[in-house]
Amino acid sequence: MWVMRLITTLLCGMVLGVSPTVLAASSGWQPAKHLQAELVSEYQTVQPGQTLQLALHFIPDEYWHTYWINPGDSGLPTSIAWQLPTGVTAGDIQWPTPQAFSIPPMMNYGFAGPTLLLIDLTVPSSYSATTLDITAKVDWLVCEEICIPAEASLQLSLPVSSSAEPSVYGQSLVSQAKARQPQTLAITGFYDIAGDSFSAAIAGLPDDDFQQFFVSATELVDHAAPQHVLFSEGEWLLRQKLNTYFTHAPTDFSVVLVSANGQSYSVTLQAAAEAAVVSSPDASQQALWLVLLMAAAGGLILNLMPCVFPVLSLKALSIAGNTGQQQQQKRDALWYSLGVVLSFVALASVLLALRAAGTAVGWGFQLQSPILVAALAYLLFALGLSLSGLVQFGLGLMNAGGGLTQQKGAKGAFFTGVLAVIVASPCTAPFMGGALGYAVTQPPFLALLVFVALGLGMALPFLLLAFVPGLAKRLPKPGAWMDTLKQVLAYPLYLSAVWLAWVYGRQTGIDALALLLCGAVALAAACWLWGRWQLRREGKADAVFALLLVALALSVLWMATPKLAENSSSPEVTQTHWQSWSADKHAALLAAGKPVLVNMTADWCITCLVNERVALNTDSSKAALALFDVTYLKGDWTRRDAAITAYLHQYQRDGVPLYVLYWPGQPAEVLPQILTPDTLRQTLERLSKQ
User: At residue 115, what are phi and psi to the nearest 5 degrees?
Assistant: -130, 140
- Rounded to whole angstroms, the Cα distance separating 363 from 527 reads 33
**Nearest CA to 682 among 668, 661, 658?**
661
Q: What percent of the chain has pLDDT over 90?
A: 26
Q: How far apart are CA 460 and CA 439, in angstroms?
A: 21
Number of C-alpha atoms within 13 angstroms, CB side, residue 394? 21
Asked whether the predicted pLDDT for residue 60 surpasses 90, the reply is yes
Q: What is the 3-state secondary structure (H, E, C) of 448-510?
A: HHHHHHHHHHHHHHHHHHHHCHHHHHCCCCCCCHHHHHHHHCHHHHHHHHHHHHHHHHHHHCH
**Residue 283: band (very low, low, confident or very high) from pLDDT cuts 50, 70, 90:** very low
Q: What per-residue confidence (pLDDT) applies to 78?
A: 95
In terms of Cβ atoms closer than 10 Å to its own Cβ (0-12, 13-18, 19+), residue 12 is middle
**Residue 162 or residue 405, greater confidence:** 162
Whole-angstrom Cα distance, residue 147 to residue 140? 10
What is the total residue count of the chain? 690
Residues 315, 320: Cα–Cα separation, whole Å: 9
pLDDT(410) > 50: yes
Q: Which of 6-20, 492-506, 556-570, 595-609 has the lowest mean pLDDT?
A: 6-20
Terminal Cα distance for the chain, rounded: 41
Indicate whether 401 pLDDT > 50: no
Specify the pLDDT at position 674.
79
Domain 579-689 has CATH 3.40.30.10: yes
pLDDT of residue 402: 32
Residue 165 phi, psi dihedral angles, 5° rounding? -120, 120
Q: Which region holds residue 195: left if phi is over 0, alpha if psi is between -120 and 50, else beta?
A: left
Q: What is the pLDDT averaged over residues 663-686?
A: 86
Output the average pLDDT for the chain: 76
By percentage, how much of the chain surpasses pLDDT 70? 69
Q: Is the pLDDT of residue 316 over 70?
A: no
How would you classify the pairing of strands 183-194 and 264-271?
parallel
Contact 634, 582 (CB under 8 A): no
How far is residue 641's CA from residue 645's CA, in Å, rounded to a whole number? 6
Going across the sheet that includes 35-41, the strands are: 30-32, 35-41, 51-60, 115-122, 89-90
Are the C-beta atoms of residues 453 and 319 closer than 8 Å to each other? no
Q: According to the model, what pLDDT value does residue 198 have?
A: 87
Question: Angle of helix 432-439 relative to helix 281-302, nearest 10 degrees?
Answer: 130
- Report how far residue 174's alpha carbon sits from residue 119's, in angstroms, rounded to the nearest whole number: 10
pLDDT of residue 278: 34
* Cα–Cα distance list, 532 to 392, 519, 525 (Å): 10, 20, 11
Give me the mean pLDDT over the 444-453 stretch.
76
pLDDT of residue 568 exceeding 80: no
| Residue 562: partners with Cβ closer than 8 Å, 6 or more residues away | none
- Least confident range from 326-335, 385-394, 654-663: namely 385-394
Higher-pLDDT residue of 23 and 453 is 453
In the structure, what pLDDT confidence band is assigned to residue 18 with cuts at 50, 70 and 90?
very low
Specify the range with the lowest mean pLDDT, choosing from 325-329, 402-406, 410-414: 402-406
Residues of the chain with CATH 3.40.30.10: 579-689
pLDDT at 211 over 70: yes
List every span in the chain annotated with CATH 2.60.40.1250: 2-180
Range with top average pLDDT, 121-135, 566-580, 646-660: 121-135
pLDDT in tens, 350-392: 666 655 544 444 455 555 667 767 777 777 788 778 777 777 6
What is the structure's pLDDT at 442?
Answer: 60
pLDDT in tens, 125-184: 999 999 999 999 999 999 987 888 899 999 999 999 999 999 999 999 999 999 999 999
Helices and strands of the chain, counted as H and E runs: 22, 25
Closest CA to 450 of 287, 295, 666, 557: 295
Neighbour-count burial of 669, counting CB atoms closer than 10 A to its CB (0-12 exposed, 13-18 middle, 19+ buried): middle
Class of domain 183-274: mainly beta
What angle, rounded to 10 degrees, do the helices at 444-467 and 281-302 form?
A: 50
Q: Does residue 426 contact residue 307 with C-beta atoms inside 8 Å?
A: yes
Distance CA 590, CA 12 (A): 47
Residue 17, SS3 per DSSP: coil
Q: How far is CA 220 from CA 97, 241, 253, 575, in A?
A: 19, 9, 11, 38
- The CATH number of the structural domain formed by 2-180 is 2.60.40.1250
Q: Are 90 and 25 in contact (CB under 8 A)?
A: no
Residue with the bigger pLDDT between 419 and 438: it is 419
* Phi/psi of residue 573, nearest 5 degrees: -115, 125
Q: Which residues contact 311 (CB under 8 A, 6 or more apart)?
A: 380, 416, 419, 420, 423, 424, 493, 496
Using CA atoms, how far apart are residues 294 and 296, in angstroms rounded to an integer? Answer: 5
Backbone angles phi, psi at 555, to 5 degrees: -70, -35
Using the predicted structure, report yes or no on whether residue 45 has a pLDDT greater than 60.
yes
| Of 12 and 266, the one with more pLDDT | 266
Per residue in 498-516, pLDDT (tens digit) is 877 877 777 777 777 777 8
Cα dist from 680 to 351, 611, 633, 659, whole Å:
32, 11, 14, 10
**Is residue 615 within 8 Å of residue 679, measured between CB atoms?**
yes
Q: Which residue has the higher pLDDT, 629 or 118?
A: 118
Q: Which of 272, 191, 197 is nearest to 641 (CA)?
A: 197
